[in-house]
Amino acid sequence: MEYIALTCGFLLILIGIYGALTQSNILRMIVAFTLANTGVNLVIVGIGYINGRTAPILDTAVPVAEAATRIIDPLPQALVLTAIVIGVGITALMLAYAYKLFTLKGSLDITAIKELKW
């Protein structure tokens, strides 16, 4: 089960990075990066998963005393939350850039932004 998650995660990362490097439309690049981020999040969650265990919610189903042996690693899930929030922040920022670049240059073509070089 976790291997499927991990494989999917890495596939998504690769697809995302490939997209970001080959698509010249800035919006498509941003979407590609979100894909890659999703892949990373999947990998993080997949790493925390332990076969045959349950969600790390301590209630009547999982008493505190048995928690250590019955739940999966809760930490990656906490990390993923933060990673998602940061991902959203960066995506928003990139979109803001896309908007501003479009209003100033009238184009979303990344290959057209080459004034600075060498």
Partner 1 sequence: MVDPILLIAIPLGAAFFLGLLRDEWRTSAYVITLLTLAFVSWVSSSWLLGFSLDKIAPVEILTAGSEPPFSINLRMGLNESVALLMISLTGLLSSIYLKDTLFRLGRRAMAVLLVFVMAMCGIVLTRDIFNLFVFIELTVIATAGLVLLSHNTLSLGAGFKYLVASQIASILLLVGIIFSYHVTGTLNIDGMAGMSNVLIQTSPLAFFLLFIALVIELKPFPANGWALDIYESAHPAFSAILSAATATASLFAVDKILNIGGDNWLPFATGIGILSFIGANLFALAQTHDRRLMGYSSVGQIGLILIIIGQRDILGENYFFIAGGVLLAHAVAKAGLFWMSGLVNARELSAWTALRKRPMLIFAFVSFIALLIGLPPFPGFYAKWELVHVLASEGRIALIVLILFGALLETAYLFRWFGLILRHEDEAPVVACPSQKVAVIYSAVLLGWGLGYIWGELSGFGNLLYTIPLLFALLFLPLEWLPAKLKNTFAIMGLVTWFIVQYPAYDPLQLIFAAIILPGGALVLLASYYNSGRRIGFYPSALWMFAGLSMLIMAEDSFAFFAAWESLTIGSYFLILRGKQSQPHALSYILFSLGGAFLMLLGFALASEGNPLFPLTSLASVASDLAPWVFILLAIAFMTKTAAIGVHIWLPGAHAEAETDVSPLLSGILLKAGLFGLFVLLINMGKQQLYGVELTHVLLWIGAISALLGNMMAIYQEDAKRLLAYSSIAQMGYALFGLALMNHLGWLMALMFVVNHYIYKSMLFLSIGGVAKRTGTKAMYRMGGLITLMPLSFIAVLIGIIAVSGVPPLSGFGGRWIFYNAIMSAEYRLPMVIIFLAGPIAFLYLFRLIHTVFLGQLKDEHRQLKEAPFWIILPQMIYVAFLMIFALAPGLALQKVDGYISRFFPNNGLNWEGLTITSDFGYWSPVSIMIIIGVIFVTLFSWLLFVNRRAQKVKQFNIVYAAERPYRPETTHFAWNFFAPYRKALGFMTQPLVTRFWDTVAELLHTAADLLRRLYTGDGQTYAVQLLAFVVAVYFLGNGVM
Length of the chain: 118
In angstroms, give the least distance from the CB of 82 to partner 1.
Answer: 6
How many residues at the interface with partner 1, by CB under 8 A?
Answer: 40
Q: Which stretch binds partner 1 (CB under 8 A): 51-59, 60-68, 92-100?
A: 92-100
Q: Is the dihedral of CA 16, 17, 18, 24 positive or negative?
A: positive
Q: Is the dihedral of CA 57, 62, 65, 69 positive or negative?
A: negative
**Measured from the CB atom, is 52 or 60 closer to partner 1?**
52
Residue list 13-72, contact with partner 1 (CB under 8 A): 13, 17, 20-22, 24, 26, 29, 33, 36-37, 40, 43-44, 47
Element (H, E) at 15: helix 2-22
- Helices 74-105/26-48 angle, 10° precision: 180
Chain centroid to Cα 93, Å, comes to 15
Residues forming the site for partner 1 (CB under 8 A): 13, 17, 20-22, 24, 26, 29, 33, 36-37, 40, 43-44, 47, 75-76, 79, 82-83, 86, 89-90, 93-94, 96-98, 100-101, 104-105, 110-111, 113-118
